[in-house]
């Protein structure tokens, strides 16, 4: 189709602000999905996404819309993930578009991620169409939020569309605005192919499927294609569009979006952000902005039952086919046996992977404390990337330790600013700036990522009664006085409970942690000392007192089977414990490190 009749756009919205509902409504209104086939949230295809109400994978759907000017337009809706962990994927999706709908809940207002993604879009020269959704809600305050929205993008409040995706009210105006306010693509169809990979999925029958936006040139089924960053080559086995099911159409030209079946066997061979070009006529330069997906958060994953180790490996293998940002390598823990150290884009990503492993692969897992990657310079000058506290060299061999910092942008109601700033200070944050946005404040801090990956987000939510929202971006590494905090059970260090902490908070962390462990670890046959130590010096100690009584005092003839079954049942309960030396430790203990609130309860 002529480029002037094409629009590529995405929807920027905070979780729950109605992006999926609006997308569904657009599919319906343009006839891409019949009323009868309409499943809520067609675009979110994974169960887990549906349950959590979030979109993990971006996709592109083509619909044809006949506008009020009587012309038929090709609209490519490029879906974006809605969470901070996936901000790179968001940026690639946006790079595939000329415009974006900026959707904000008329009762909630702008959230930090909306803000961050809106800035990303503005930086990328996208034309934004502001949309207030859920205006049918009683709590909606469209005038207030329209002003804020207009302010944010430098537009007139009158231009903010007011809709209800749920009832369908105003959705037609959205489609018209896409045509009239967003520019068409202007690629050079005669130039060599340059197609941006903004997403890719692994299909077990067809291999890697790339979702692309063709910037220049064109691609046909059968073309020999090369990925410019990874260097992978493949034949375009099928070229088509999602409408919303996969529909082969044979070719894609500049300005259009669609999919390419590559036949590649792993997502590692085709990264999001890469540029595809034709082998016979390669483009001289790739598209800008390619970045290796870099894991930010690491944790150990261990099977509760050691014989499930091969199953866990197979499951990780399969999951990484589908998720190039998941990295993992074998790890051995004295406490937990054989497992894997896994790297994730962020905490949500980690939760999702863990949940999928447990749910889809029926594994029972212990996850160790998440940590970040430290850059450690040895006294010899050698520089190490430390992804696990266990790998930290002895203190006298360390010249310096650097840790990753993120710039956290939090949007919060006026009356919670103090609480937010207090939290950031506690977590070693450095104040950057504060700006008011209508009735709210945007508070910006630079924070060690290590402090953010623990329970920062939960704390932020709970201290602002759920009102604050968070976005963050990397700002590089900074040096800090960091030490390794060890936890000893019955005198033995438990490697899986070690963590790297700031020297000044080590005592409070250690004390809080041993107190919590004392509560979590059940009484055993013998006293179990629980100690926190730094480099061999014990800084806090608690004792899990020995069990005094565990007996069923009555047992007569009619009772023997019942008593035996009771012991069998007790045994079942013990199976969920992990033996660390002579101590039985429940799985929760390994997560105790995550809860830092009220670091010491005494």
Partner 1 sequence: MRSGEPGGVAHLYVHLPFCAARCGYCAFVVEVGRDDARDAYLDAVLAELERERGRLGALETLYLGGGTPTLMGAGRLSALLAAISPLLAPGAEVTIEANPETVDQNLMAALAGAGVNRVSLGVQSTHPHLLGVLDRQAGPDDAARAVRAVRAAGIPRLSVDLLLGVPGQSQADLAADLAWVTEVGPDHVSWYELEFKEGSAIASGPHLPPDEDMSADLYEEAVEGLEAAGYRWYELANFCRPGAECRHSLAYWRARDYVGLGVGAVSTVGGGRWRNAPGLDRYVAALGRGDAPPRTQEPLDADTRRRERWMLGTRVDEPLDMAWAGSPDRPAALDVLEAGGLLERGRGTVRLTRRGRLLQNAVMQEIMDF
Write out the residues near partner 1 by the rule CB under 8 A. 523, 525-526, 547-558, 560-561, 563-564, 566-568, 570-571, 574, 582
- Whichever of 294 and 579 has its CB closer to partner 1, that residue is 579
- Whichever of 319 and 585 has its CB closer to partner 1, that residue is 585
8 Å CB contact between 19 and 87:
no
| Whole-number Å distance between alpha carbons of 193 and 277 | 5
CB of 204 to partner 1, least distance (A): 40
The CA–CA distances, whole Å, from 559 to 550, 551, 564, 572, 586 equal 17, 14, 9, 20, 30
The CA–CA distances, whole Å, from 33 to 75, 77, 101 equal 14, 14, 21
CA 126 to chain centre: 24
CB of 582 to partner 1, least distance (A): 7
- What would you report as the CA-atom Rg of the chain, rounded to the nearest whole angstrom? 27
- Whichever of 40 and 551 has its CB closer to partner 1, that residue is 551
CB of 568 to partner 1, least distance (A): 5
- Whichever of 69 and 550 has its CB closer to partner 1, that residue is 550
CB of 308 to partner 1, least distance (A): 19
- Whichever of 36 and 549 has its CB closer to partner 1, that residue is 549
| Whole-number Å distance between alpha carbons of 290 and 274 | 6
- Whichever of 385 and 553 has its CB closer to partner 1, that residue is 553
Counted residue by residue, the chain has a size of: 602
Give 233's strand partners: 226
First to last CA, the chain: 70
CB of 558 to partner 1, least distance (A): 4
**Considering only CA atoms, which of 312, 402, 291 is closest in space to residue 363?**
312
**Considering only CA atoms, which of 303, 229, 207 is closest in space to residue 273?**
229
CB of 493 to partner 1, least distance (A): 21
Look up residue 148 and give its DSSP letter. H
- Whichever of 224 and 563 has its CB closer to partner 1, that residue is 563
8 Å CB contact between 506 and 525:
no
Give 532's strand partners: 487, 540
8 Å CB contact between 89 and 199:
yes
| Whole-number Å distance between alpha carbons of 73 and 276 | 26
**Considering only CA atoms, which of 148, 147, 166, 167 is closest in space to residue 158?**
147
- Whichever of 279 and 525 has its CB closer to partner 1, that residue is 525
CB of 590 to partner 1, least distance (A): 22
CB of 574 to partner 1, least distance (A): 6
Q: Phi and psi (nearest 5°) for 269?
A: -80, -10
CB of 583 to partner 1, least distance (A): 12
- Whichever of 431 and 526 has its CB closer to partner 1, that residue is 526
């Amino acid at each position: 189709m002529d480029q002037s009749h094409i629009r590529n756009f995405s929807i920027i919205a905070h979780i729950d602000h109605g992006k999926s509902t609006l997308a569904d409504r657009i599919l319906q209104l343009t006839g891409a999905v019949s009323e009868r086939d309409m499943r809520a949230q067609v675009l979110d295809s994974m169960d887990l996404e549906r349950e959590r109400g979030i979109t993990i994978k971006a996709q592109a759907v083509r619909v044809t819309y006949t506008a009020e000017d009587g012309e038929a337009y090709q609209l490519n809706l490029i879906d974006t993930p809605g969470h901070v962990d996936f901000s790179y994927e968001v940026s690639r999706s946006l790079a595939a578009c000329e415009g974006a709908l900026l959707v904000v809940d008329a009762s909630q207002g702008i959230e930090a991620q909306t803000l961050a993604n809106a800035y990303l879009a503005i930086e990328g020269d996208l034309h934004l169409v502001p949309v207030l959704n859920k205006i049918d809600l009683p709590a909606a305050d469209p005038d207030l939020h329209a002003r804020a929205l207009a302010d944010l993008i430098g537009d007139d409040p009158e231009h903010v569309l007011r809709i209800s995706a749920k009832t369908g009210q105003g959705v037609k105006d959205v489609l018209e605005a896409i045509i009239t306010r967003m520019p068409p693509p202007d690629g050079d169809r005669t130039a060599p192919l340059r197609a941006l990979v903004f997403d890719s999925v692994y299909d077990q029958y067809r291999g890697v499927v790339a979702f692309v936006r063709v910037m220049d040139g064109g691609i046909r089924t059968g073309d020999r294609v090369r990925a410019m960053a990874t260097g992978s080559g493949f034949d375009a086995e099928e070229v088509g569009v999602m409408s919303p099911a996969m529909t082969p159409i044979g070719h894609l030209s500049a300005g259009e979006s669609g999919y390419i079946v590559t036949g590649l066997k792993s997502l590692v061979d085709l990264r999001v952000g890469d540029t595809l070009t034709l082998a016979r006529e390669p483009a001289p330069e790739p598209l800008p902005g390619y970045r290796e997906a870099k894991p930010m958060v690491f944790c150990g994953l261990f099977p509760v039952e050691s014989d499930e180790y091969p199953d866990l490996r197979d499951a990780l293998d399969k999951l990484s086919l589908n998720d190039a940002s998941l990295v993992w390598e074998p790890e051995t823990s004295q406490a937990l046996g054989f497992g894997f150290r896994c790297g994730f884009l962020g905490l949500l990503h980690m939760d999702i992977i863990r949940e999928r492993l447990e749910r889809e692969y029926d594994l029972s897992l212990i996850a160790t404390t998440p940590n970040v990657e430290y850059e450690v310079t040895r006294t010899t000058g050698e520089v190490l990337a430390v992804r696990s506290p266990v790998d930290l060299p002895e203190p006298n061999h360390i010249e310096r330790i650097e840790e990753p910092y993120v710039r956290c942008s939090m949007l919060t109601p006026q009356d919670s600013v103090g609480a937010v700033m207090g939290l950031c200070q506690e977590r070693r944050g450095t104040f950057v700036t504060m700006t008011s946005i209508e009735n709210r404040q945007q508070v910006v801090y630079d924070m060690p990522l290590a402090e953010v990956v623990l329970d920062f987000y939960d704390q932020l939510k709970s201290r602002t009664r759920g009102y604050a929202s968070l976005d963050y971006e990397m700002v590089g590494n900074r040096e800090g006085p960091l030490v390794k905090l060890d936890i000893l059970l019955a005198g033995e260090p438990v490697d899986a409970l070690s963590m790297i902490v700031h020297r000044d908070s080590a005592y409070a962390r250690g004390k809080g942690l041993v107190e919590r462990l004392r509560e979590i670890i059940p009484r055993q046959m013998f006293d179990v000392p629980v100690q926190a130590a730094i480099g061999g010096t014990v800084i806090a100690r608690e004792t899990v007192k020995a069990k005094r009584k565990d007996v069923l005092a009555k047992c007569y003839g009619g009772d023997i089977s019942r008593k035996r079954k009771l012991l069998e049942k007790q045994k079942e309960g013990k199976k969920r414990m992990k033996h660390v030396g002579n101590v039985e430790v429940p799985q929760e203990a390994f997560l105790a490190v995550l809860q830092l609130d009220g670091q010491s309860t005494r």
